[in-house]
Amino acid sequence: MLNTFQQGEHALLPRATHDERARQNFAKGLRGYIQREVLPGLTPLFSGVSAKARAKGDELATRHDVRKAMRREPYFQSYAGLNRTAQELLWLSVIDAIEHDWNRLSAEVEARAGQGGELRIPENFDVPRYVTALDIHCMPGGYASAADPAQFAAGALYERGVYLYAMGYGGPFNDGKGRSVCNYLLKHLPGFEPARILDMGCSVGHSTLPYEEAYPDAEIWGIDVGAPLVRYAHARAAELGSKVNFAQMNAEHTDFEDGSFDLVVSHIMLHETSGKAMPKIFEECFRLLRPGGWMVHCDLPPFDLMDPLTQFILDNETYYNNEPFWGAMREIDQVSLAKKAGFEADTVRFDTAPMVIQAYADESAKGYDKDAASAVADREFKAGEYAPGGGWEVLIARKGA
C-alpha cells in the first residue's frame, strides 16, 4: 500500500499542511482498517445468517435476499456506518487542503491555460441529471457544481480524494486502470495502432494519460460532462508533460464526427450513468468508430459472475455511497446492448484485464513504476474491495470492417 506521502507530486496537487495531512492519513487509515479488519467479518456473519434462514426453509439466493437478512445485523450496521463515515471524512480532509491552497492552485491552473493539448469547454452545456441529482460517492458538490468558483475545485478534490479512496493501490498517479487496459490491448491486439483515441468519462485524466505512453503517435481526447474536471485534467496533463486534449462533452452525444476514432474507451464511467444513457453511449461509440475500430469499457464485472455475498457487498455502494446505478448497471445485459448498437456479434465479450500491479510480474508489461509496483505486488484482494479475480472487467467489441 502506498502511503499518503507517495502520491506522484505535481504542481496541481493540493498541498496540505501538517494537520491536514494527518487528517487525510487518518481517513485513509480508517478505510484500510475497515477493509482489513471489519469487512472480513461479514463472511462468518453471512454463514450464520444463512444457516438460520435455511433452518426456517429460506434460501438467501440473491443479493436482495442477503440484504434483507444482513441489514438487521448490528455487525453489518456498524460496518456500513463506519464505511460511510470514512467516505465523508475522506472528502472533508481534502477540502480543507484545497481551501488553504486555493490561491496557489488557481494560479497554477491559469498558468497552464495555453499549454499542453487543446481544452474545449462550451458556453452552454447540459450536464445530465444523473450526474447533478446527487453528490456521487458522497463527494461534496459533485462533479459539476455551479458553486465551484474557478471551475476546477472538483478536479483537485477528485485527484487527491480518489488516491486516498484507492489507498494508493492505483499507483502514484492513480493510473492503474488505464495502464491495465493498455496492457490488455497491447497483449491481445498486437499490431493495433490506433491513430485517434477517445476516453469517455475521463474525470481528471488519470486513466487517459497511459494511452499516450502506450500509443505515442495517437491523437488522444478525454471527455467528461464536468467542466471543473476537464479544466483540471488539462492543467494536470500539461504539468505532467502530456499533449492529451480534453473537452466537456456528453458521451451519449459528442461533437466528434462519424468514424473519427479507432479506439473508444471508458474506465468506471458506465456505472455512473443511467439505464437510459447506456444504450445511447454504446450507439455513440459505434458512430464514432471507424470500421475495424474497438470499443472497450472497463468496470467491475457483471453480477452474474459473482456469488450473492460479493454482489451484496459491492451493492452497498448503491445503498450507502450515493451510487444509484451501481447495482442496476451490473444486471444489464451489456453484451446484447453492444450487439444491438451494431458491433460485430462474435467480437463482443467480457474479459479480464489483470490489474497492472499483478501484470507487472510479466516482464512484457509496459511502463509502470517498479518501486511502487513492488510495494503493492503481494497484496491479497478481498471480495467487495476490487474485482473478484483481481482484474478489471472489460467489455470489448469491434465495429465491422
Ligand X SMILES: C[S@@+](CC[C@H](N)C(=O)[O-])C[C@H]1O[C@@H](n2cnc3c(N)ncnc32)[C@H](O)[C@@H]1O
176 binds ligand X (CB under 6 A): no
Give 50 or 254: the residue with its C-beta nearer to ligand X. 254
- Of the candidate residues 46, 76, 79, 143, the single one contacting ligand X (CB under 6 A): 143
Give 50 or 242: the residue with its C-beta nearer to ligand X. 242
Cβ distance 209 to 245 under 8 Å?
no
Give 105 or 249: the residue with its C-beta nearer to ligand X. 249
Supply 257's cell numbers.
464526427
CB of 131 to ligand X, least distance (A): 5
**Which residues 261-320 are close enough to bind ligand X by CB under 6 A?**
267-269, 272-273, 277
Q: Residues 371, 372, 373, 378: is their CA dihedral positive or negative?
A: positive
CB of 206 to ligand X, least distance (A): 4
Give 60 or 314: the residue with its C-beta nearer to ligand X. 314
252 binds ligand X (CB under 6 A): yes
Q: Residues 41, 47, 52, 54: is their CA dihedral positive or negative?
A: positive
The Cα–Cα gap between 207 and 42 comes to 32
Supply 196's cell numbers.
485517434
**Which residues 100-139 are close enough to bind ligand X by CB under 6 A?**
128, 131
- Residue found by looking up cell 434462514 in the block: 53
- Of the candidate residues 226, 293, 308, 388, the single one contacting ligand X (CB under 6 A): 226
Site size for ligand X (CB under 6 A): 24
Kindly report the backbone phi and psi dihedral angles of residue 327, in degrees, each rounded to the nearest multiple of 5, phi listed first: -75, -45
The Cα–Cα gap between 8 and 127 comes to 31
203 binds ligand X (CB under 6 A): yes
Cβ distance 164 to 3 under 8 Å?
no
Q: Exposed/middle/buried for 131, CB within 10 Å: 0-12, 13-18, 19+?
A: buried
181 binds ligand X (CB under 6 A): no
Maximum CA extent, the chain: 68
CB of 93 to ligand X, least distance (A): 19
Residue type, 205: G
Torsional class of 266: left (φ above 0), alpha (ψ -120 to 50), beta (otherwise): beta
3-state secondary structure of 140: coil
* Window contacting ligand X (CB under 6 A); options: 179-187, 223-231, 319-327, 372-380: 223-231
154 binds ligand X (CB under 6 A): no
Kindly report the backbone phi and psi dihedral angles of residue 288, in degrees, each rounded to the nearest multiple of 5, phi listed first: -75, -25
Supply 365's cell numbers.
508489461
* Window contacting ligand X (CB under 6 A); options: 248-256, 300-308, 361-369, 378-386: 248-256
CB of 31 to ligand X, least distance (A): 17
CB of 227 to ligand X, least distance (A): 10
The Cα–Cα gap between 359 and 179 comes to 10
CB of 47 to ligand X, least distance (A): 33
Q: DSSP labels for 48-70? A: HHHHHHHHTT----SHHHHHHHH
- Of the candidate residues 229, 278, 300, 387, the single one contacting ligand X (CB under 6 A): 229
3-state secondary structure of 262: strand
- Of the candidate residues 207, 242, 245, 358, the single one contacting ligand X (CB under 6 A): 207
- Of the candidate residues 119, 202, 295, 309, the single one contacting ligand X (CB under 6 A): 202
223 binds ligand X (CB under 6 A): yes
* Window contacting ligand X (CB under 6 A); options: 17-25, 244-252, 301-309, 310-318: 244-252
* Window contacting ligand X (CB under 6 A); options: 63-71, 180-188, 200-208, 285-293: 200-208
Give 135 or 344: the residue with its C-beta nearer to ligand X. 135
Q: How many CB atoms lie within 10 A of CB 302?
A: 18
Give 64 or 141: the residue with its C-beta nearer to ligand X. 141
Count H helices, E strands: the chain? 16, 8
Q: Which residues of the shown chain bind ligand X in the complex (CB under 6 A)?
A: 128, 131, 143, 177, 200-203, 206-207, 223-226, 229, 250-252, 267-269, 272-273, 277
